[in-house]
């Protein structure tokens, strides 16, 4: 899985996901940027009064081409990470 951090990513949720991934021994790559992520997450985070946003992506090659490539095991791992993380949220987490 590829977890993205930056000014348009909710720091509390980012930390919760990071802690969950480490606790469950998921292998996560991190990408940090000083500005926009290039995804809809940017607009969601700042729309209206804002929506806490987290961005989790798949490691890939040749994005936006006819030969975009992902590793199937990365897809499965990212799905397990995302599902497990959502299930772990109980509501009322301190962010």
Sequence ranges of the domains in the chain = 2-88
> What's the fold here for domain 2-88?
Aminopeptidase (3.40.630)
Band of the pLDDT at 34, cuts 50, 70, 90? confident
- The pLDDT, as a whole number, for residue 40 is 85
In this prediction the pTM is 0.83
> Which residues, including other chains, have CB under 8 Å from residue 36's CB and lie 6 or more apart?
8, 42
DSSP class of 63: T
């Amino acid at each position: 899985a590829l977890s993205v951090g930056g000014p348009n990513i909710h720091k509390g949720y980012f930390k919760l996901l990071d802690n969950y991934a480490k606790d469950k021994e998921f292998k996560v790559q991190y990408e940090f940027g000083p500005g926009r992520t290039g995804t809809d997450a940017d607009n969601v985070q700042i729309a209206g009064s804002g929506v806490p946003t987290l961005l989790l992506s798949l490691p890939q090659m040749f994005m936006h081409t006819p030969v975009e490539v992902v590793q199937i095991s990365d897809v499965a791992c990212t799905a397990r990470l995302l599902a497990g993380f959502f299930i772990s949220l109980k509501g009322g987490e301190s962010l």
